[in-house]
């Protein structure tokens, strides 16, 4: 029985469940302090796999983008990420050396299912990452990993996304060790950080009041842009999607470096730009981007780490997350992005849990 447990909306309840969801998700695939995905998974012949393709839709696609980033960085594997609805028409380079991963909260999205069927025909090993036990995608896949996020009622996905990202992160570490791309010391360090993660998510959610105030300021915006670099660009896409899904504010996410190739023409006094800037190597470039936006009168809400005071100096509003390993920052950054979309929809008086024209699970192509 779905119950809001005292929260005004399922979305807010599900946002608050994220610390526990991450804990549970990690615990499910740990054995003797090591990552263990189970007997079936161990049967995958990784010696024959030389490439990975990740296929998904919507928010799950964004989790796939994060996953690909982790896999490339931590495991040195060639990874492509495809939107499921495009996959069949893209003449995919798939064969028996491919591990094809399908991410789907519901396990019922038809585009994702059809992409899985094609991958099987082409000889790939198929791995489903899903939240719903016994779902069609879980039954069709060679191997299944479950995100263990519990039922997600709000159409806009929050906790399922975070669980998908955490699982992709574990998978990348698993592959990193297998491929000898990360050392045992690095692995242990990552595992220590991830073990404490739920507390850090709790802290990130404490910004709630401040974000609610920001939502009041932006609720009448008609357009907004989300920018970031590297992994922040991927999380910017998810923040933008959340905003457009439930507030109907037109919003677009772009790589910050692309700003000067078009989008900057649209920045005028008051234009909302949400800047995600958590990556050490890119922080100076992000500060330059903020200055460019400010020079044209844009209104900048920045999400950054608590030690990057240079961002605070240039942005209109700054939301901080804890100073954490760059690679793990997205698991914290997504919290304020979800809350910003949520409170903006609340301030606009919209039906947060059931936005117009959207379905929780799309079973048509
Ligand atoms: C719909 C939902 C989204 C979801 C997408 C993919 O569009 O509204 O929240 O991300 O489908 O769903 P899946 O169940 O495959 O993750």
Q: For the residues of 29-95, what is the DSSP string, one character each? A: TEETTEE---HHHHTS-GGG--EEEEEE-HHHHHHHHHHHHHIIIII---EEEEEHHHHTTS-----
Instruction: Give the integer Cα–Cα distance in Å for 163 and 160.
Output: 5
Q: In this structure, are residues 318 and 268 in contact, taking their beta carbons and an 8 Å threshold?
A: no
Is there an atom of ligand 1 within 6 Å of 130 CB?
Answer: no
Residue 75 has pLDDT above 60, yes or no: yes
Alpha-carbon gap, residue 31 to 11, rounded angstroms:
32
Residue 8: what pLDDT? 96
Cα dihedral 95, 60, 153, 358 in deg (nearest 10):
-100
Q: How much is the average pLDDT of 21-34?
A: 92
Give yes or no for a contact between 323 and 307, defined as CB atoms under 8 angstroms apart: yes
In percent, the amount of the chain with pLDDT more than 90 equals 93
Left (φ > 0), alpha (ψ -120 to 50) or beta: where does 173 sit? alpha
How does pLDDT run across 94-129, given as a tens digit for each residue? 999 999 999 999 999 999 999 999 999 999 999 999
Kind plus residue range of the DSSP H or E element containing 252 = strand 250-255
pLDDT category of residue 192 using cuts at 50, 70 and 90? confident
Residue 190 has pLDDT above 60, yes or no: yes
Q: Is the CB of 60 under 6 A from ligand 1?
A: yes
- Residue 158 Cβ < 6 Å to ligand 1: no
Burial-class residue 122 by CB neighbours within 10 Å (0-12, 13-18, 19+): middle
CA of 147 to the centre of ligand 1 (A): 14
Could you give the count of Cα atoms lying within 13 Å of 222 in the half-sphere of its Cβ?
A: 4
Q: Which two tokens stand for residue 217?
A: 């300021």
Q: What is the predicted pLDDT for the residue at 1?
A: 53
The model carries a pTM of 0.96
pLDDT tens, residue by residue, 193-235: 888 889 999 999 999 999 999 999 999 999 999 999 999 999 9
Average pLDDT over every residue of 180-191 = 92
The dihedral over CA atoms of 283, 285, 291, 295, expressed in degrees to the nearest 10, equals -160
- 107 CA to middle of ligand 1, Å? 9
Tell which atom from ligand 1 comes closest to the C-alpha of 58.
10
Span between the terminal Cα atoms of the chain, in Å: 30
Is the ipTM value over 0.90, yes or no? yes
How much is the mean pLDDT over the chain?
95
pLDDT tens by residue, 226-269: 999 999 999 999 999 999 999 999 999 999 999 999 999 999 99
From 298, 230, 288, select the one nearest 264 (Cα to Cα).
298
């Amino acid at each position: 029985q779905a119950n809001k447990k005292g929260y005004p909306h399922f979305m807010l309840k599900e946002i608050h469940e994220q610390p526990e969801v991450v804990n549970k998700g990690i615990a499910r695939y740990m054995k003797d302090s090591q990552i263990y995905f189970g007997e079936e998974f161990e049967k995958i012949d990784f010696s024959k796999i030389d490439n990975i393709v990740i296929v998904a839709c919507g928010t799950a696609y964004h989790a796939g983008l994060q996953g690909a980033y982790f896999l490339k960085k931590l495991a040195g594997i060639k990874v492509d990420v495809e939107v499921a609805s495009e996959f069949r028409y893209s003449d995919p380079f798939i064969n028996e050396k491919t591990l094809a991963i399908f991410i789907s909260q519901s396990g019922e999205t038809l585009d994702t299912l059809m992409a899985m069927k094609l991958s099987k025909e082409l000889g790939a090993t198929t791995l489903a990452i899903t939240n719903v036990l016994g779902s069609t995608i879980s039954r069709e896949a060679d191997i299944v990993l479950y995100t263990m996020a519990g039922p997600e009622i709000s159409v806009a996905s929050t906790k399922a996304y975070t669980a998908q990202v955490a699982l992709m992160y574990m998978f990348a570490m698993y592959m990193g060790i297998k491929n000898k791309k990360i050392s045992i010391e690095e692995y242990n360090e990552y595992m220590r950080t991830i073990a404490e993660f739920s507390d850090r998510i709790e802290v990130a959610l404490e910004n709630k009041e401040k974000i609610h105030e920001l939502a009041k300021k932006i609720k009448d915006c008609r357009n907004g842009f989300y920018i970031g670099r590297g992994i922040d660009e991927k999380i910017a896409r998810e923040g933008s999607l959340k905003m457009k899904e439930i507030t109907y504010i037109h919003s677009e996410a772009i790589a910050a470096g692309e700003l000067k190739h078009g989008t900057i023409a649209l920045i005028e006094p008051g234009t909302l730009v949400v800047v995600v800037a958590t990556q050490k190597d890119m922080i100076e470039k992000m500060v330059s981007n903020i200055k460019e936006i400010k020079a044209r009168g844009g209104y900048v809400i920045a999400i950054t780490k608590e030690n990057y005071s240079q961002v605070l100096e240039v942005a209109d509003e700054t939301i901080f997350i804890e100073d954490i390993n760059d690679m793990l920052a997205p698991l914290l950054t997504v919290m304020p992005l979800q809350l910003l979309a949520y409170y903006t929809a609340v301030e606009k008086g919209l039906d947060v849990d059931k936005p117009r024209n959207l379905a929780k699970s799309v079973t048509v192509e």
